[in-house]
Structure 1
Amino acid sequence: MSVHCSGSPGHDEHRSLVEFVNCSPQTVKETTGARTRHVVLVHGASHGAWCWYKVVTLLLRKGYKVAAIDLTAMGRNRAVADSVSSIEEFAKPLLDYLESVTEQVLLVGHSLGGITISYAMEQYPEKIAKAVFVVARMLLNNQSFLSSLPPNTPARLPPGSKKLAYANGRSAPPTSVEFNLKQAVDFLYSESPEEDIQLALSLLSPQPYVVYRETVTLTPERYGRVPRFYIKTSRDRLAPPSDQQVSIDRNPPTMVFTVDSDHSPFFSTPSELTTLLEEICKMTIER
């Protein structure tokens, strides 16, 4: 695949698996001076910091400071998914980390992690140099993940692909959701190496459901201050490129990139994903 670019400088051949286009009137420059050196990685539904292990390794080798976050009830965080009652509570490990940093970071969210990083952008815009949405939902103000979905999206999921838990009774909203592990392979990891699939199947955990249904307040003065980049996944069976484009068109980012990946590029195309993150780190935005 050749590299296509609109409104930015020339690029090297080693990025031949990446296609990108400029989406907004902002001017993007590539520099070697004012680059972001600190990368914060945020997982999506039912995953944890563990899913980024390849990307973390590659970024560390390139000299970046890297933090992969376990959100509340995810990964090594010992909270119970059914007890999480708000996005604020779910995002607390990320918010605590951002509060502690003394330099601006590149904030990266995968899939449902787009909700979490959007919330964090509203809370700590001054701590975030740029935000990257890796096949991640970009909300409008007062939207939830569920209200932002394109029509008929739930019908695309295989029957029995998820199981809802109702810790507060059937008359109350669900409290957590769990993937059917056998079906997860097909719609999450269709292009991923077998060893990574087995790792994921042993570590996936229930996801607090509140993250799907709670609306998020996003203001131009705070969330809108942070330049956003979007990475599309062209072989995605969970979120087809057409669905990703709906999110992009509704809330255009500064730039859009594409990797030839399933829904989990941290497994299936880690080198290409890391190269993109590094290139975004080098960019400065003129507004």
Structure 2
Amino acid sequence: MTEATDPATTSIVLVHGAWHGAWCWSRVLPLLRSAGLDSHAVTLTGVGERAHLMSPGIDLHTHIQDVIGLIEAEELRRVVLVGHSYAGMVITGVADRLQRERGGLLAHLVYLDAALAYPGDSWSSHHSAETRQARTDASIPSGGLSFPPPDAALFGLNGADRDWVNRRQTPQPFRLYQQPLDFDADRVAALPRTFIDCIQPALATIAPSRARVRSEPGWNVVEMATGHDPMVSEPVALSQILRNIHAGA
């Protein structure tokens, strides 16, 4: 076994979705680390504990660089890259760039109930006209800078979990909502890819991704009977799925 394929050298990098931060992985990280897996969670610029950095200049490339910056700063050698929800856009951009510049670094892409893009798509491309308009309207009070989070009940959370997420969510930079992502689809598709489909309840905006992974070759699909935030609602089950993917990377 070479160092490049040694599980001991393979790390997991977790990238949160919109309105969240690295905080959302706080129930998953200890489980991964207690299993001996080198695991990291990044907070994207402008949200979470980095909300004070909100600015009009934040775009997809900012968030792509946030993830690459963590990988480089931690000197990771081989990575299972996990992107939740909006971060499906981010990890696709990361994969395109790292495959071009540092082929062999990425071991597996995990799209956790995530947005999937074709080249030239934006995060908003596969949303309904009503959703796009609602989010645009919601950005108006901030002058187009950001748009506020929804109630976490939308993610299938209730009780203390719902309250915990609602307290911690922060507005999402708006510019990247409509920004197209250009990438080489073949380059990204050359990597092993898993889609974790959270189906109970299923979030409507993920429906296009849900259909796509079942119609295209090359996807491993895993279903979870929980809502859109499984790192909160089902951390043990999610960590086991990630451990299994890591073991095969």
The answer to whether the superposition gives a TM-score over 0.5 is yes
Partner of 1:280: 245
TM-score where L is the length of structure 1: 0.74
The one of 103, 119, 123 equivalent to 2:97 is 123
Are the counterparts in 2 of residues 234 and 240 from structure 1 also a CA contact under 8 Å?
no
1:192-211 mapped onto 2 (5 Å cutoff): 194-211=159-176
The 1:267/1:219 distance shift into structure 2, 3 A limit, reads same
TM-superposed CA distance for 1:116, in Å, is 0.9
Partner of 1:11: none
The one of 89, 92, 105 equivalent to 2:79 is 105
Matched residue pairs, number?
A: 238
Are the counterparts in 2 of residues 108 and 131 from structure 1 also a CA contact under 8 Å?
yes
The 1:249/1:82 distance shift into structure 2, 3 A limit, reads farther
Partner of 2:192: 227
The 1:84/1:195 distance shift into structure 2, 3 A limit, reads farther
The 1:230/1:80 distance shift into structure 2, 3 A limit, reads same
CA distance in 2 between partners of 1:143 and 1:241 (Å): 15
1:262-281 mapped onto 2 (5 Å cutoff): 262-281=227-246
Are the counterparts in 2 of residues 260 and 269 from structure 1 also a CA contact under 8 Å?
no
TM-superposed CA distance for 1:212, in Å, is 1.6
Counterpart check, 1:246 vs 2:211: yes
The 1:137/1:60 distance shift into structure 2, 3 A limit, reads same
Partner of 1:59: 32
One-letter amino acid of the structure 1 residue matched with residue 46 of structure 2 = A
Partner of 2:131: 154
Runs of at least 5 residues in structure 2 that lack an aligned partner in the other structure: none
After superposition, the C-alpha distances for 1:132-173 in whole angstroms (9 at most, x for unaligned) are 000001111111111133x56729x9x89x832465x5xxxx
TM-superposed CA distance for 1:241, in Å, is 7.0
Partner of 1:164: 139
Partner of 2:60: 87
Identity, in percent, stands at 24
TM-superposed CA distance for 1:195, in Å, is 2.9
TM-score where L is the length of structure 2: 0.84
The 1:251/1:176 distance shift into structure 2, 3 A limit, reads farther
CA distance in 2 between partners of 1:95 and 1:68 (Å): 12
Counterpart check, 1:136 vs 2:147: no
CA distance in 2 between partners of 1:116 and 1:215 (Å): 12
Partner of 1:70: 43
Q: Which structure has the greater CA radius of gyration?
A: 1
The 1:241/1:273 distance shift into structure 2, 3 A limit, reads same
One-letter amino acid of the structure 2 residue matched with residue 154 of structure 1 = T
CA distance in 1 between partners of 2:138 and 2:232 (Å): 25
Partner of 1:177: 147
TM-superposed CA distance for 1:268, in Å, is 1.0
Between 1:83-92 and 1:129-138, the stretch displaced more is 83-92
Q: Which structure is higher in RCO with an 8 Å CA cutoff and minimum separation 6?
A: 1
Are the counterparts in 2 of residues 84 and 90 from structure 1 also a CA contact under 8 Å?
no
Are the counterparts in 1 of residues 116 and 209 from structure 2 also a CA contact under 8 Å?
no
One-letter amino acid of the structure 2 residue matched with residue 232 of structure 1 = D
